[in-house]
Amino acid sequence: MTARIGVVTFPGSLDDRDSRRAIRLAGAEPVALWHKDKDLKQVDAVVLPGGFSYGDYLRAGAISRFSPVMGTVIEQAKSGMPVLGICNGFQILTEAHLLPGGMLGNDHLHFICRDQKLKVENAETAWTADYESGQEIHIPLKNMDGRYVADERTLDMLEAEGRVVFRYVVGGDTSHGHGHVNPDGYGNPNGSLRDIAGITNEAGNVVGLMPHPEHAVEPLVGSGRTDGLPFFTSILKKLVNA
Amino acid sequence: MARVVVDVMLKPEILDPQGQAVQRALPRLGFEGISDVRQGKRFELEVDGPVDDTALARIHELAESFLANTVIEDFTVKVEEVAEAGK
Amino acid sequence: MARVVVDVMLKPEILDPQGQAVQRALPRLGFEGISDVRQGKRFELEVDGPVDDTALARIHELAESFLANTVIEDFTVKVEEVAEAGK
Amino acid sequence: MSRTPLDTVEHAAGTPDVELPWAELGLKKDEYERVVEILGRRPTGAELAMYSVMWSEHCSYKSSKVHLRQFGEKAPQSDALLVGIGENAGVVDVGQGYAVTFKVESHNHPSYVEPYQGAATGVGGIVRDIIAMGARPVAVVDPLRFGAADHPDTKRVLPGVVAGIGGYGNCLGLPNIGGEVVFDACYQGNPLVNAGAIGVMRHEDIHLAKASGPGNKVILYGARTGGDGIGGASILASETFDDAKPSKRPAVQVGDPFQEKLLIECTLEAFAEKLVVGIQDLGAAGLSCATSELASNGSGGMRVTLDDVPLRDSTLSPEEILMSESQERMCAVVEPSKVDRFLEICDKWDVIATVIGEVTDGDRLEIFWHGGKIVDVDPRTVAHDGPVYERPYARPHWQDALQADDANKLPRPTTPEELKSQVLRLVSSPNQASKSWITSQYDHFVQGNTVLAQPEDSGMIRIDEESGLGVAIATDGNGRYTKLDPYHGAQLALAEAYRNVATTGAKPLAVSDCLNFGSPEDPAVMWQFAEAIRGLADGCLQLGTPVTGGNVSLYNQTGEAAIHPTPVVAVLGVIDDVARRTPVAYREEGQLLYLLGDTREEFGGSAWSQVVHDHLGGLPPQVDLERERLLGEILISASRDGMIDSAHDLSDGGLIQAVVESALLGDKGARLVVPDELDAFTFLFSESAGRAVVAIPRSEELRFNDMCGARGLPATRIGVVDGSASDAVVEVQGEFTLTLSELRTAHEDTIPALLA
Ligand SMILES: Nc1ncnc2c1ncn2[C@@H]1O[C@H](COP(=O)(O)OP(=O)(O)O)[C@@H](O)[C@H]1O
Ligand SMILES: [Mg+2]
């Protein structure tokens, strides 16, 4: 038996096919979900993929959050179904208030695409169990609105409850600014508060992050590393063992 | 037909790099004496029918739930004179 | 200190994909009766010293040369009451 | 408000003396007279609108046609070519049942007026060409040229162009896998914004722009039609047909990438269900072009009701609707029984779709408005029988003096210190510096199939996950070389793009080009143009890579001053298994560096002559296309057999530029020895063509040398990969040593410092 993991396609989703590929490569069964359908086709978990849903014209994720499928996702997430939001998916999760805080434009005002160094802060969530806490990994990052913001109280709460799942690794040689081909991918790429790259909800079933693990699952393409695969093996194990 | 304007600005405590970029450029352009710049969004809604209290209340709701993300943004709603836009 | 607001909107004949995306979403959110939405930018400038005609003229110039792209955008400049922003 | 009667065909026939503003619409007197002759009466306003845009330089290629013919006449025999010049884009067979379509286009002028939107809509336009062939777009490239790097206007144009290309391409989900950024004062006021796209399909999915089958419906879908790009038509509307003032028409178009993304998805879904008989994108000349081309390429005629076109601006006149260049629209021909399903798919994707007409069994294109027939033409006369000019051309009087001003005679560095400082100047000069400030604004991961992207020699995309089949693309063009010698300059562009593709391990298959020149009315420019095409066509014949399509951009000039003639050449290649690709970066210490090819004293048009002496003169490097082919074969074999771990072609900046790039990318040092037969300066800076540097594992040295020896390719051992990370250096023995961190600062800080 394997797990069925749904990937929602919104108008303007871009990495839906890539997320399905990553799920398949991890050994689970990818299931395509459509934004206009309330029905989740009995999947065991859902990935909200990256992209520019509705062009991100109002705010990233703001329009998709009101789609029929999100009604069901919100409901199911609250009763414990694992949900992963990648990039635009993360933005949708904050707009839907499944995760606290909000996403704003990168502080340097440019789109940024690079292989980013991250630190795994929480290896207990449904999506990160195959990592080790403190592990440093490289995951491609590509976005325009990647700056995570929340008020101080929320940030303190996230820290206190261990809900910061990933942080950008700051340090190393970042003197060349964001456009520098930094072979190590150091630095906060967008001005996110407290270098936050990804967070989880209280229950640990909903995770959102800006970088794209689905682009780091094969040695030949994308970043050429496979540091993103554990996302998909983590959830598979959890679901199969459940 | 009437126009209702919704202005959405980042909350004051949130960094506004776009506004800052404008402000940083000002001296280069020879402008002095502007101590702060913030950049936000302006929505112009053309409303069919009268803009009465009910209509305004609904637009307020729309702004709160949709046009603005109140976690990070503030907004104001106002009815605009139907003057010609333009400079 | 005074606040001058520069509103920048796409010229009416120019396609406004942002406004369109908002407008198309409205029925799904249960909002009817809004026949058009345009989305633009709002700049709030905090001006040191008095906002007299000279100052306004300069801000007009700033808007024209920098804040707006007059090939595709119109703008308006107005002095704002120093009321608290917020909802 | 009184309105003059609708200018129907009937009305036109009855009012032969009405004066039409043909001159304002850009027609010459004799061109207008030909229209009258074709029709046997004066055209209606709508007909005039159509003829005038379709017979414009941009749509009819009237100045370039006579020269472009060579691409067909001299086309090499190639089994790979499935669709050649003339369609929206050429299509090439890449094996395993896959076909690839690719093309490069220009959006130069709009990008100067409004950099962001001009560049964005440029990407939008080329991508629609690719979809119109039946393919899923899989990547874009963006060859760019700007004025001097430190000119204030470059700070306006470049960031806007880059943000626009990124804003549109990123939002469409197309990885950007290559391009160029060149600065030269000659492009001040005339930046070149070229954009290319690649699409992939199965052979059986190839679609063509033709309307056949009487009774089939013509469906317009995508964005509503607004008054975009119709300056001329507005004149027509106001002066002859309406007493009201013309309404305002946009001077610049705004792109809507989200709409285009929906257009891609719904078109591909319609293709997958085999619902489409013929298809055409709407680009320049909008509906005028789409209807007349679809009709003239098909077997029958076409009848269109213009009232059914969904409008963004209800004040548009029929002439304006016909000429509107609103973005993000497509036109499909669909059998009646499949129309409902087609419309359903459009609805699924929230795309507006409307039946606006049908294919008829006559041979006329008839267009109706408010019940009256306003167009009745033979569509071929609109789409294909435009004027053709044999513009006069002449070798410019200054060409000899330019070539006589020999760059090989410029003062050269005399001491190791001077050599070292010139190396630093070179690698930090805007043209040679790292472009990552720009390319990091482009998504190159999306779609999950990017094998190589910037700053590799060519971009590479996997197209089959099982077999590893992939395609590679590189674009090149050197306006300086082409100015010195247009014939050989164009061949050097071809040679470089060909070499870049082969360097990554892919076999070059086919060519697309974007020919950017000044005014064709200047005989000197026309000569450059004619020579460049002749060179390119001869070169393609020799290399066996047919030109499958391209684009011509003329009038890139301000007053008398034309840009350097700038043919940009894109070469597409195929690789059986992307696992065999060869990257630029050095990977392992101890590997041996070999220089392949011959190095001569060749500095005409070189980066060194520009950076150190601000000089342009002499002759460009010699062209030897047989050598390019041999070099390519060796590089491809070596990659296939796993003999090399890194390769970088040598082009502008010469050997030192290439070595520095490979070292920085791999974070590995290199120690070089100047070969006996060369002096250090020539070794480092010469731009002789047909060369590459490869890194070879020691275990492969013998085998590799044997291969080169047997096939007659000079291969010289020039050094070794040595040193890692912080203590690594690039050393030229007996001359100088530069640390990687010095080089990194020099190479990578230039562009951010100029633009950030
Ligand atoms: N505008 C651009 N967009 C995308 N890639 C670019 C752009 N400009 C340069 N590049 C990439 O940067 C690398 C170096 O460019 P260039 O020096 O022109 O290459 P080459 O000399 O090998 O043709 C190549 O991978 C090229 O594709
Ligand atoms: Mg190269």
Distance set, CA D400 to CA D397, D405, D532, D616 (Å) = 7, 9, 17, 13
pLDDT averaged over every residue in chain D: 93
Calpha distance D428→D753 (Å, rounded): 11
D566 CA to centre of ligand 1 in angstroms:
16
Calpha distance B68→B64 (Å, rounded): 6
Using an 8 Å Cβ cutoff, are A214 and A18 in contact?
Answer: yes
Catalytic positions of A, please? 87, 212, 214
Taking residue A149's Cβ as centre, other Cβ atoms within 10 Å add up to: 22
**Model confidence pLDDT, tens digit, residues A161-218:** 999 999 999 875 544 344 344 556 788 999 999 999 999 999 999 999 999 999 999 9
In a domain, C34, yes or no: no
In a domain, B18, yes or no: no
Pocket test for ligand 1, best of D170, D187, D439 (most atoms within 8 A of CB): D439
Q: What is the pLDDT of residue D88?
A: 76
C25: which chain A residues are within 8 Å (Cβ-Cβ)? 54, 58, 63, 66
Can you read off the two tokens belonging to residue D544? Answer: 């066996």
- Name the CATH code of domain D583-756 (choices 3.30.70.20, 3.90.650.10, 3.30.70.100, 3.90.420.10): 3.90.650.10
Using an 8 Å Cβ cutoff, are A19 and A9 in contact?
Answer: no
C&D contacts, CB < 8 Å? 44
- Residues β-bridged to residue D516: D553, D566
- Taking the CA of residue D181 as reference, the ligand 1 atom at the shortest distance is 8
**Ordered DSSP codes for B45-64:** EEESS---HHHHHHHHHHII
Residue minimizing CA distance to atom 19 of ligand 1? D457
Instruction: Domain A4-241: give its CATH architecture.
Output: 3-Layer(aba) Sandwich (3.40)
Q: What is the pLDDT of residue A175?
A: 43
Residue minimizing CA distance to atom 14 of ligand 1? D455
Using an 8 Å Cβ cutoff, are D502 and D476 in contact?
Answer: no
Calpha distance D72→D133 (Å, rounded): 20
**pLDDT bracket for residue C85 (50, 70, 90):** very low
Q: Is D437 in Cβ contact with A179 (below 8 Å)?
A: yes
Element (H, E) at D572: strand D566-575
In a domain, B26, yes or no: no
Angle ∠(D488,D493,D496) on CA atoms, nearest 5: 115
B10: which chain A residues are within 8 Å (Cβ-Cβ)? 104
Q: What is the pLDDT of residue C32?
A: 86
Mean pLDDT of A141-149: 95
Distance from CA of C46 to the nearest CA of B (A): 5
C22 CB within 8 Å of a chain A CB: yes
Calpha distance B63→B76 (Å, rounded): 8
Domain with B53, as residue range(s), is 2-13+40-86
Q: What is the pLDDT of residue D592?
A: 98
Q: Is A58 in Cβ contact with B72 (below 8 Å)?
A: no
**Sequence ranges of the domains in chain D:** 583-756
Distance from CA of C31 to the nearest CA of D (A): 18
Calpha distance D262→B24 (Å, rounded): 38
Tell me, what's the ipTM? 0.92
Residue B55 sits in a domain whose CATH number is 3.30.1280.10
D440 CB within 8 Å of a chain A CB: yes
D498 CA to centre of ligand 1 in angstroms:
14
**Sequence ranges of the domains in chain A:** 4-241
Pocket test for ligand 1, best of D168, D435, D457 (most atoms within 8 A of CB): D435
Calpha distance B54→C33 (Å, rounded): 13
Q: Is the pLDDT of residue A136 over 50?
A: yes
Residue minimizing CA distance to atom 20 of ligand 1? D457
**Ordered DSSP codes for D326-369:** -SSEEEEEE-GGGHHHHHHHHHHTT--EEEEEEEESSS-EEEEE
B46: which chain C residues are within 8 Å (Cβ-Cβ)? 34-37
In a domain, C74, yes or no: yes
**Model confidence pLDDT, tens digit, residues B7-65:** 999 999 999 999 999 998 888 888 888 999 999 999 999 998 888 998 899 999 999 99
**pLDDT bracket for residue A86 (50, 70, 90):** very high
Q: What is the pLDDT of residue B85?
A: 42
Positions in chain D short of pLDDT 50: 1-2, 238-246
Residue B72 is which amino acid?
I
Domain total of chain B: 1
Q: Is D179 in the pocket of ligand 1 (CB under 6 A)?
A: yes
In a domain, C29, yes or no: no
Q: Is D665 in Cβ contact with A181 (below 8 Å)?
A: yes
Mean pLDDT of A68-85: 97
Tally DSSP H helices, then E strands, for chain D.
Answer: 27, 28
Calpha distance D586→D725 (Å, rounded): 12
Q: Is C69 in Cβ contact with D254 (below 8 Å)?
A: no
In a domain, C23, yes or no: no
Residue minimizing CA distance to atom 25 of ligand 1? D455
Q: pTM (2 decimals)?
A: 0.94
C28: which chain A residues are within 8 Å (Cβ-Cβ)? 66-67
C10 CB within 8 Å of a chain D CB: yes
Helical segments of D173-309, H only: 231-236, 257-272, 286-297
Catalytic positions of D, please? 58, 107
Using the structure block, give the residue that is written with the tokens 């030109």: D547
Using an 8 Å Cβ cutoff, are D133 and D207 in contact?
Answer: yes
Mean pLDDT of C27-43: 92
Residue minimizing CA distance to atom 24 of ligand 1? D455
